[in-house]
C-alpha cells in the first residue's frame, strides 16, 4: 500500500510543483475552461504513459524508452523556463499560447511520472488474485489518495505562487536545474548502457553520483514546497494592519479579515499535505523498505586447542544461535546452531550463516520459520545441515562430551563465503611487523587467504615466493566451487 | 461561522433527512453484503497464493489429457495409468529437495465389504509414516501424517509395514456399525473374470478428514498393492513443500514457460515457487504431471470470479437508485430553503460557500446511512455466507471505509443536480416570494 503512495509522491511531486508555479505565472485569471482542458490533457498523458510503459516492458526496451522520455522531459523543463522568462516580456497578450504551452509541459511531466511509477512498482503485485480482496482495495485507495494529494498540491502551489511570484520563479528555476541534472545523468546512463557513449571513469562517476542523489527528488520537491510556503507566510496579509475604523470603514476591514483567514487556510492545507507526504516518504525509506536485520552474533573465540566449543544444552531450545568468528585476515565468519527437532530429540544443525546461491545476507528466525533474507525462502528446519537448495552451507563439526566442537581451521576455510571485513591487527608475513588490515597499503591473495604488507618490498618478496612466507595455510572455499566435502 | 450554520440547519427537516439516510442505508446494506462475500473469498485466495507452504499433486501424464465431453470424462486411461513407487525417492532428489517436507502416494481400489451390503467403497493405499531411506538421509520418514496434518484419527495409526491394519472413514464406520478393534473382510471384484481377491483387515482407528476419505478404508500402500495385483504402482502422489509466494515472474511462468528469457528462467528455476518445484518434479519423475493444488482458487474462487461482474452491476444499480432518491429529497430541501439561500446570496455569500453547506449535509447523511447500512449488511452477509458456503464469514475491516466512502459518494452524487438549482436562484425573485 505505502509502496504505491511513495512511488506516486516521488514521481509526481516535481511535476505538481512545476505545473503549479507555471499556472500562477500565466497572465490574467485562471479560467475554468483552461482547467478543464488541462485536466483532459493530463488524463490523456497518464493513459499514454500507461500504454507506453506496457509496450516498452513487453518488448524489453525499457532503457531506451526511459532515455527518450527523459530527453523529452528535459525539453519540457527548458520550455517551462522559457515560459517563466516570457512572462516578464509579454503581459496579457498571447495568453492563450502561454496556457497551451503550460498544459503541454504539465502533460509531458505527468506522462513521465506515470512511466516512473509503473517501472518503480513493476515488481510489486497490485493484487494476488482478480477477485476483490483487502490488498486490492488498500492499494487502489493508496493510488486514489496519491492522485487527490497531487492534484490538491498543484492547486495549493498555484495559489501560493500567485502571492510570491519572485520566489516562485526562483523555485521553478532551482527545480528545473536540479531535475535537468538528474535526468541528464539518467540519459547519460541510458546512453552508456546502450553503447552510444563510450564508458569512461569520469562519466561513470558523474552518473553514479547524480543517480544516487536523484533518488531523493521527492524530498527535494518537498524542500522547495516548504520554501514557497515560508515565503507565502512572510508575505501574508495582516488582518489588522493598523488602519483606523474611521479612515477605512468597517466593511473594508471585515473583507480584509476574511481574506487573511482564507490565506491562512491555504497555508495550513499545504502544510498538512506536505507534512503527511514527508512523513510517508520518511517512514517508507527509513523503516518499511528496509530488509530484516540479523540478530546479534555472539563472538566465537577459539580456545588454546584451536576449537570453538558450544555446550549443546545451551542451544537446544529450537532458537537460532548465531556466532561470529574473526578470521586471520579480518573476515567476519558468521555461523549458527539450531536444534533441528524438538528438545527430546536433539540434533543440532551447525551451518555457516550464508547460502551457496544467495550469498552472505544470512538467515533470520521468524516464529518457527528460518528464512533466507536474500530470497525469502522458508528453509525446512529439519533439513538444516544438509547441502542443496537455499539451505545454509553446512559447517564441519564434531560432538564431544555434550559440546559441539568446531575447529577454527574449518571456520578459516569458509572465510571467503563472507564479505564483511573488520579492522584487526595483522602481521606482515615478510617483515613480521604489525599493521591494521584495512589500512595496509599492499595486499595479496594466496589460496584465498589475504596477506597484508607494509611496503612494496615485502609485497614483492612475498609474491615471488608465497609458500616460503605464508607457512602452512589451507586453501579457502569459494561459493562458485559449490558444496565441498572433506576427503 | 460555517460550523454554526451547519449545526443550526442540520436538525431542520429531520424527517426528510432520515428518509434520505435510510435510502442510502438500503443501498449500503446490499453493497456491504456483496463486498463481504467477495472480500472473504478474495482474501482467502490471496492468502493461499502468498502462503509459504503448498501442496502439489503428481499424477501420470495421461490423467491430465482433457477428454471431457459434456462434463463427462471420457479419458479411457483415467485411473488405469500408474506411477512407479520406486520413482518416489526422485522427488526428494530435485534442486529444492530440502524444501519438500513430505510426500504421500495414493492408490485407490474399489472393493466390496464382505457380508455387508454397502455397495462399492474405496480402499485407499498410502504411506502413514513410512520409512523411506534416502542417500542424504537414511532415517527419512514420510506419509500422510506429514502431508495431511489435519487428518484426525480416533484410535491408533496402522503400522506401514503390516498387511492387515487399516483405518476406516468416519461416515463409513457409522454406516457399517464398526469400531476400532473390529475386523472387516473385503473382496475385490475382478473385472472380466468373475473371481475376486479377498483380504481381511483389523481396524486400528476411525479417520476423520472432511473429504472423500470419510467414506473409505485407508490401508498401508503395500497391502492394497498386493490385493489389487499392482505391485510397485501408485496412482497419485501428494507432495507438501515449503514455497515462497507467487509473484509476477511465477505467474508469467505459469502462463507460458517459453515466454521467459534465459535469465528469467534461471531466477524462476532457482526460486522456491510452487510452480518451479512442480516443474522440477515433472523433470525428475518419468511420465509424471505435477500441478499445484489451490483449493480456494479452484472452489469458491471460481464461483465468485464468475459472479463478480454481476455483483458490480447490482452495486451500480443500487448506487444509482439511492442517488436518485437522495436527489429528489435534496431538491425539496433546496426549494424549502430558497428564501434562506436568497438571503445568503444577497449578503454576499459565494456560490461555493452555499454549495458547501448543502454538500456537508449530504456527507453527514452519507456517513450515517453508510454506518446503518454496514451494520445491516454485515448481518445479511453472515446469513448469505451460511446459505452459500455453509460457513460464517470473517469480519473484514476494509469493508467499513469502503462502504462509508461509497455511501458518501452516493449522497454527493444525489446532491449534484439540486446544488445546481441553487445557482439559478435569483435573490430578488425568492426574497419577493415570486
Interface check for A379 against chain B (CB to CB < 8 A): the answer is yes
Interface check for B49 against chain A (CB to CB < 8 A): the answer is yes
Mean pLDDT value of segment A310-330: 89
Task: Please tell me the pTM assigned to this model.
Answer: 0.77
Smallest Cα distance from B30 to chain A, Å: 16
Measured CA to CA, the distance from residue A414 to residue A308 in angstroms comes to 15
* CA angle in degrees (0–180, nearest 5) for A27-A33-A37: 100
Tell me how long chain A is: 487
Measured CA to CA, the distance from residue A172 to residue A178 in angstroms comes to 10
**Interface list for B 186-225 with A (CB within 8 A):** none
- Assign 3-class secondary structure to chain A: CHHHHHHHHHHHHHHHHHHHHHHHHCCCCCCHHHHHHHHHHHHHHHHHHHHHHHHHHHHCCHHHHHHHHHHHHHHHHHHHHHHHHHHHHCCCCCHHHHHHHHHHHHHHHHHHHHHHHHHHCCCCCCCCCCCCCHHHHHHHHHHHHHHHHHHHHHHHHHHHHHHCHHHHHHHHHHHHHHHHHHHHHHHHHHHHHHCCCCCCHHHHHHHHHHHHHHCCHHHHHHHHHHHHHHHHHHCCCCCCCCCCHHHHCHHHHHHHHHHHHHHHHHHHHHHHHHHHHHHHHHHHHHHHCCCCCCCCCEECCCCCCCEEEEEHHHHCCCCCEEEEEECCCCEEEEEEEEECCCCCCCCEEEEEEEECCCECCCEEEECCEEEECCCCCEECHHHECECCCCCEEECCCEEECCEEEEEHHHHHHCHHHCCCECCCEEECCCCCCEEEHHHCCEEEEECCEEEEECCHHHHHHHHHCHHHHHCCCCCCCCHHHCCCCCC
- Select from A443, A448, A446 the least CA-distant residue to A478: A448
- What is the pLDDT at residue A155? 94
- Taking 50 as the pLDDT cut, the residues of chain B under it are 192-195
Q: Determine contact, residues B39/A137, Cβ cutoff 8 Å.
A: yes
Averaged confidence pLDDT in chain A: 87
Contacts of A46 (CB under 8 A, 6+ apart): A110, A111, A114
Three-class SS state of B169? strand
Measured CA to CA, the distance from residue A22 to residue A164 in angstroms comes to 13
- Which of B46, B308, B401 has the CB atom closest to A135's CB atom? B46
Chain A residue with Cα closest to B47: A128
What residues in B contact A390, CB-CB < 8 Å?
A: 96, 98-99, 272
Question: Does A292 have pLDDT greater than 80?
Answer: no
Chain A residue with Cα closest to B35: A132
Q: Determine contact, residues B107/B231, Cβ cutoff 8 Å.
A: no
- What is the pLDDT at residue A17? 95
Question: Does A43 have pLDDT greater than 60?
Answer: yes
Measured CA to CA, the distance from residue A367 to residue A365 in angstroms comes to 6
- What is the pLDDT at residue B247? 75
- Select from B274, B296, B251 the least CA-distant residue to B42: B296
- What is the pLDDT at residue A242? 55
Chain B residue with Cα closest to A135: B43
Measured CA to CA, the distance from residue A44 to residue A22 in angstroms comes to 20
Where are chain B's structural domains? 2-47+300-432, 82-240
Measured CA to CA, the distance from residue A176 to residue A74 in angstroms comes to 8
What residues in A contact B389, CB-CB < 8 Å?
A: none
Interface check for B247 against chain A (CB to CB < 8 A): the answer is yes
Q: Determine contact, residues A385/A404, Cβ cutoff 8 Å.
A: no
- What is the pLDDT at residue A10? 92
Measured CA to CA, the distance from residue B64 to residue B30 in angstroms comes to 41
CA distances from B8 to B16, B337, B361, B389 (A): 16, 13, 11, 49
Q: Determine contact, residues A186/A66, Cβ cutoff 8 Å.
A: yes
Where are chain A's structural domains? 2-241+249-288, 298-408, 425-481
- What is the pLDDT at residue B393? 79
- What is the pLDDT at residue B193? 44
Contacts of A65 (CB under 8 A, 6+ apart): A52, A53, A56, A115
Question: Does A243 have pLDDT greater than 60?
Answer: no
Interface check for B96 against chain A (CB to CB < 8 A): the answer is yes
Give the long-range contacts of residues A300-304, CB within 8 A, separation 24 or more: A300/A324, A300/A325, A300/A335, A300/A406, A300/A411, A301/A325, A302/A408
Interface check for A136 against chain B (CB to CB < 8 A): the answer is yes
What residues in B contact A141, CB-CB < 8 Å?
A: 401
Interface check for B305 against chain A (CB to CB < 8 A): the answer is yes
- What is the pLDDT at residue A132? 84
Chain B residue with Cα closest to A255: B348
Question: Does A244 have pLDDT greater than 60?
Answer: no
Interface contact flag, B272 A390, Cβ < 8 Å: yes
Smallest Cα distance from B434 to chain A, Å: 30
- How many residue pairs bridge chain A and chain B with CB atoms within 8 Å of each other? 101
- What is the pLDDT at residue A324? 92
- What is the pLDDT at residue B417? 87
- What is the pLDDT at residue A18? 95
Question: Does A486 have pLDDT greater than 70?
Answer: no
- Which of A133, A377, A380 has the CB atom closest to B42's CB atom? A133
Domain made up of A298-408: CATH architecture:
3-layer Sandwich (2.102)
Q: Determine contact, residues A114/A9, Cβ cutoff 8 Å.
A: no
- What is the pLDDT at residue B30? 92
Measured CA to CA, the distance from residue B354 to residue B341 in angstroms comes to 7
Interface contact flag, B42 A132, Cβ < 8 Å: yes
For residue B49, the surrounding DSSP H or E stretch is helix B14-50
Question: Does A158 have pLDDT greater than 60?
Answer: yes
Smallest Cα distance from B31 to chain A, Å: 13
pLDDT in tens, A350-375: 999 998 888 888 899 888 788 888 87
Smallest Cα distance from A252 to chain B, Å: 13
- Which of A133, A376, A390 has the CB atom closest to B39's CB atom? A133
Give the long-range contacts of residues B319-324, CB within 8 A, separation 24 or more: B319/B27, B319/B31, B319/B406, B319/B409, B319/B410, B319/B413, B321/B27, B322/B23, B322/B24, B322/B26, B322/B27, B322/B410, B322/B414, B323/B410, B323/B411, B323/B413, B323/B414, B324/B414
Specify the higher pLDDT residue, A76 or B247: A76
- Which of B53, B97, B305 has the CB atom closest to A131's CB atom? B305
Amino acid at each position: 500500500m505505502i509502496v504505491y503512495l511513495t512511488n506516486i509522491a516521488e514521481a509526481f511531486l516535481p511535476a505538481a510543483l512545476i505545473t503549479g508555479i507555471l499556472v500562477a505565472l500565466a497572465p490574467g485569471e485562471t479560467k475554468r475552461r483552461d482547467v478543464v482542458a488541462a485536466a483532459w490533457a493530463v488524463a490523456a498523458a497518464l493513459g499514454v504513459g500507461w500504454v507506453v510503459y506496457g509496450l516498452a516492458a513487453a518488448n524489453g526496451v525499457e532503457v531506451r524508452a526511459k532515455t527518450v522520455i527523459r530527453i523529452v522531459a528535459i525539453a519540457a523543463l527548458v520550455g517551462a523556463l522559457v515560459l517563466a522568462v516570457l512572462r516578464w516580456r509579454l503581459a496579457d497578450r498571447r495568453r492563450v499560447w502561454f496556457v497551451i504551452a503550460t498544459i503541454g509541459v504539465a502533460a509531458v511531466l505527468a506522462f513521465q511520472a506515470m512511466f516512473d511509477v509503473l517501472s518503480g512498482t513493476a515488481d510489486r503485485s497490485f493484487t494476488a488474485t482478480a477477485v476483490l480482496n483487502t490488498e486490492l482495495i488498500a492499494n487502489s485507495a493508496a493510488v486514489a489518495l496519491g492522485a487527490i494529494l497531487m492534484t490538491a498540491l498543484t492547486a495549493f502551489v498555484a495559489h501560493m505562487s500567485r502571492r510570491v511570484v519572485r520566489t516562485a520563479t526562483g523555485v521553478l528555476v532551482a527545480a528545473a536545474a536540479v531535475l535537468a541534472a538528474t535526468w541528464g545523468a539518467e540519459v547519460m546512463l541510458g546512453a552508456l548502457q546502450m553503447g552510444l557513449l563510450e564508458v569512461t571513469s569520469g562519466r561513470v562517476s558523474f552518473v553514479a553520483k547524480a543517480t544516487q542523489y536523484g533518488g531523493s527528488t521527492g524530498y527535494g520537491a518537498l524542500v522547495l514546497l516548504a520554501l514557497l510556503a515560508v515565503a507565502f507566510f512572510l508575505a501574508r496579509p495582516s488582518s489588522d494592519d493598523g488602519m483606523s475604523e474611521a479612515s477605512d470603514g468597517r466593511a473594508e476591514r471585515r473583507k480584509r479579515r476574511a481574506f487573511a483567514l482564507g490565506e491562512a487556510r491555504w497555508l495550513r492545507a499545504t502544510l498538512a499535505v506536505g507534512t503527511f507526504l514527508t512523513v510517508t516518504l520518511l517512514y517508507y525509506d527509513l523503516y518499511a523498505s528496509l530488509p530484516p536485520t540479523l540478530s546479534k552474533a555472539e563472538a566465537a573465540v577459539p580456545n588454546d586447542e584451536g576449537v570453538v566449543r558450544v555446550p549443546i544444552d545451551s542451544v537446544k531450545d529450537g532458537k537460532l544461535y548465531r556466532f561470529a568468528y574473526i578470521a586471520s585476515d579480518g573476515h567476519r565468519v558468521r555461523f549458527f546452531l539450531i536444534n533441528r527437532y524438538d528438545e527430546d530429540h536433539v540434533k543440532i544443525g551447525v551451518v555457516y550463516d550464508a547460502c551457496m546461491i544467495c550469498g552472505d545476507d544470512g538467515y533470520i528466525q521468524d516464529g518457527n520459520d528460518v528464512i533466507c533474507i536474500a530470497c525469502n525462502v522458508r528453509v525446512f528446519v529439519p533439513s538444516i545441515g544438509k547441502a542443496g537448495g537455499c539451505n545454509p552451507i553446512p559447517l564441519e563439526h564434531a560432538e564431544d562430551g555434550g559440546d559441539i566442537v568446531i575447529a577454527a581451521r574449518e571456520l578459516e576455510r569458509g572465510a571467503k563465503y563472507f564479505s564483511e571485513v573488520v579492522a584487526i591487527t595483522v602481521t606482515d608475513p615478510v617483515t613480521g611487523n604489525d599493521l591494521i588490515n584495512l589500512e595496509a597499503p599492499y595486499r595479496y591473495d594466496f589460496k584465498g587467504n589475504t596477506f597484508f604488507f607494509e611496503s612494496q618490498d615485502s609485497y614483492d618478496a612475498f609474491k615471488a615466493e608465497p609458500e616460503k612466507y605464508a607457512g602452512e595455510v589451507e586453501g579457502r572455499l569459494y561459493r562458485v566451487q559449490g558444496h565441498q566435502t572433506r576427503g | 461561522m460555517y460550523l454554526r450554520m451547519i449545526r443550526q440547519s442540520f436538525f431542520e427537516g429531520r424527517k426528510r433527512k432520515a428518509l434520505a439516510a435510510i435510502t442510502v442505508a438500503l443501498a449500503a446494506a446490499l453493497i456491504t453484503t456483496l463486498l463481504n462475500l467477495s472480500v472473504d473469498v478474495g482474501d482467502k485466495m490471496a492468502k493461499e497464493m502468498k502462503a509459504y507452504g503448498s501442496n502439489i499433486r503428481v499424477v501420470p501424464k495421461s490423467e491430465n489429457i482433457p477428454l471431457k465431453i459434456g462434463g463427462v470424462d471420457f479419458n479411457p486411461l483415467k485411473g488405469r495409468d500408474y506411477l512407479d513407487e520406486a520413482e518416489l525417492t526422485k522427488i526428494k532428489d530435485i534442486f529444492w529437495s530440502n524444501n519438500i517436507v513430505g510426500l504421500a502416494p495414493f492408490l485407490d481400489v474399489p472393493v466390496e465389504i464382505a457380508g455387508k451390503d454397502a455397495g462399492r467403497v474405496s480402499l485407499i493405499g498410502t504411506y502413514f509414516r513410512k520409512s523411506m531411506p534416502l542417500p542424504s538421509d537414511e532415517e527419512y520418514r514420510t506419509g500422510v501424517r506429514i502431508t495431511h496434518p489435519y487428518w484426525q484419527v480416533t484410535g491408533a495409526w496402522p503400522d506401514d509395514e503390516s498387511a492387515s491394519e487399516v483405518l476406516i472413514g468416519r461416515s463409513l464406520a457409522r454406516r457399517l456399525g464398526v469400531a476400532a478393534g473390529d475386523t472387516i473382510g473385503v473382496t475385490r471384484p475382478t473385472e472380466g473374470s468373475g473371481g475376486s481377491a479377498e483380504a481381511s483387515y483389523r481396524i486400528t482407528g476411525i479417520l476423520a478428514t472432511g473429504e472423500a476419505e470419510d467414506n473409505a478404508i485407508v490401508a498401508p500402500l503395500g497391502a492394497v498393492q498386493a490385493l489389487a495385483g499392482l505391485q510397485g504402482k501408485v496412482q497419485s502422489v501428494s507432495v507438501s513443500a515449503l514455497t515462497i509466494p507467487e509473484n509476477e515472474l511465477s505467474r508469467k511462468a505459469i502462463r507460458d514457460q517459453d515466454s521467459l528469457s534465459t535469465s528469467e528462467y534461471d531466477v524462476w528455476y532457482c526460486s522456491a515457487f510452487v510452480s518451479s518445484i512442480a516443474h522440477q518434479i515433472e523433470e525428475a519423475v518419468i511420465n509424471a504431471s505435477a500441478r499445484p493444488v489451490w483449493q480456494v482458487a479452484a472452489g469458491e474462487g471460481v464461483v465468485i470470479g464468475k459472479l463478480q461482474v454481476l455483483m458490480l452491476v447490482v452495486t451500480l444499480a443500487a448506487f444509482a437508485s439511492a442517488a436518485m432518491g437522495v436527489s429528489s429529497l435534496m431538491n425539496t430541501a433546496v426549494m424549502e430553503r430558497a428564501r434562506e439561500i436568497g438571503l445568503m446570496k444577497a449578503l454576499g455569500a459565494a456560490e461555493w460557500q452555499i454549495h458547501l453547506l448543502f454538500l456537508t449535509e449530504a456527507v453527514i447523511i452519507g456517513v450515517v446511512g453508510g454506518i446503518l447500512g454496514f451494520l445491516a449488511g454485515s448481518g445479511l452477509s453472515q446469513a448469505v455466507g451460511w446459505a452459500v458456503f455453509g460457513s460464517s464469514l470473517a469480519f473484514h475491516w476494509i469493508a467499513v471505509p469502503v462502504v462509508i466512502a461509497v455511501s458518501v459518494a452516493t449522497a454527493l452524487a444525489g446532491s449534484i443536480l439540486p446544488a445546481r438549482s441553487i445557482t439559478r436562484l435569483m435573490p430578488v425573485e425568492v426574497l419577493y416570494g415570486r
